[in-house]
Amino acid sequence: MGLIGKVVVAQGGGPTIVINQSLVGVVLESRKSTQITSVYGAIKGVEGILNEDFIDLTMETSHNLEQVGLTPSSALLSTRDKPDERYCQELFRVLKAHDIRYFFYIGGNDSADTVRIVNDNANKAHYNLRTIHIPKTIDNDVVLNDHTPGYGSAARFVAQAFSGANLDNRSLPGVYIIVVMGRNAGFLTAASSLAQKFSDDGPHLIYLPERTFRIDDFLKEVKEVYDRYGRCLVAVSEGIRDEQHRLIITKLVDKIGRDAHGNLELTSNNFLLGDYLASIVKKNLNIKRVRSDTLGYFQRSFNGCVSDVDQHEAREVGEKAAQFAIRQNLDGSVVIERSGYYSVEYHLKPLADVAGKTRVMPDHFINPAGNNVTDTFKFYLRPLIGSGFPSAYRLQAPRVPKILESE
């Protein structure tokens, strides 16, 4: 028998297209239980708990919850606060006052660390509280998970963006460099590879944080592709690093800020990376038509590009979190494990095994040369982006023989 009391659910870190499906899963599953007296939503993550800023989701209609589930970004708003012991003591004052016995936090590896800290301090304070981390991140970098909710939809967006960019680059050839999110893991940048259909399709070059980025090699590879096709489409992660493992982007600005968890805040400056790479191509390769773009925040919450698989799994992972906590009286982090092609299972792992850790692209997903990805990665990714993925086609009609040149 689980605890009797209230539930509080919150969302942390960057938003995703399907994060609200997990929220709805927790709320609807929790409301089924007679042990739960109310379900609260904390506005702006743990900051909302600290400020006693709650909405009563017990009073929300199921219909409206379902509509919110279909809406991108964090319905409860978000934060990157990292609680310490004193912060947690204040949290417990609020939790006790409201008789909250279940804490669900939807977020990435930093949010898992927040749940671990809250759980550890609850145990020290002898406060009976069930704490569950629900995974989400477009970076796909939460350990022990085959993949995380949010990634499939963001990967779908990236793949479609590069499919369009490839068509544009083929129509009016040149060098086109696009910067994609990914501080430490290249999963999202690698998703650009699904734009490759014909043998000369881009992206022709894909650069990931997991491999050393050398300017000389980059220029050489761009030249080789350009000489072969008369054009070159490049996908590059914002987190690429040099031989000393220093972020390339840190060489371009005087100072980059860090969030409460110590992560460099790259996205506000990553347009500089594209501009820098474009400038060195122009300067060194004497190619006239060179440009760069940065996908930025569009990857996280673009409403017109949702994976149905991603939506379904985001809902289920929220439902399973409520079942683990309320029905089984457990703490932990919910993880997704692939059990076939294509099916998944949901398991609960200790918070300490997930919190604050980062998963990166495994070697067998990256070409041995360090550039581009393997077919194994594409096989891994394809079911995650969902059904109805659009495909680009080309005119196949034969060329008409020239008359004037034959005379």
- Contact yes or no for 238/179 (Cβ under 8 A): yes
Q: Does 396 count as an annotated binding residue?
A: no
Q: Does 299 count as an annotated binding residue?
A: yes
Q: Does 359 count as an annotated binding residue?
A: no
Q: Does 109 count as an annotated binding residue?
A: yes
Q: Does 138 count as an annotated binding residue?
A: yes
From the candidates 81, 110, 113, 139, which is the catalytic residue? Answer: 139
Q: Does 1 count as an annotated binding residue?
A: no
Query: Can 139 be counted among the known catalytic residues?
Result: yes
| Angstrom distance (rounded) from CA 65 to CA 215 | 49
SS3 string, 141-195, reads CCCCCCCCCCHHHHHHHHHHHHHHHHHHHHHCCCEEEEEECCCCCCHHHHHHHHH
Q: Does 300 count as an annotated binding residue?
A: yes
Q: Does 139 count as an annotated binding residue?
A: yes
| Angstrom distance (rounded) from CA 97 to CA 132 | 20
Q: Does 341 count as an annotated binding residue?
A: no
* DSSP designation for 258: B
> Residues 6 or more apart from 7 whose CB is under 8 A from it?
26, 30, 36, 38, 39, 40, 100, 101, 102, 104, 322, 326
Q: Does 297 count as an annotated binding residue?
A: yes
| Angstrom distance (rounded) from CA 80 to CA 107 | 10
Q: Does 183 count as an annotated binding residue?
A: yes
Q: What stretch of H or E contains 91?
A: helix 85-97
Residues with catalytic roles: 139
Residues making up the annotated binding site for diphosphate are 14
**Which parts are annotated binding residues?**
14, 109, 137-139, 181-183, 238, 297-300
Residues in the annotated binding site for Mg(2+): 109
What residues are designated binding site for substrate? Answer: 137-139, 181-183, 238, 297-300
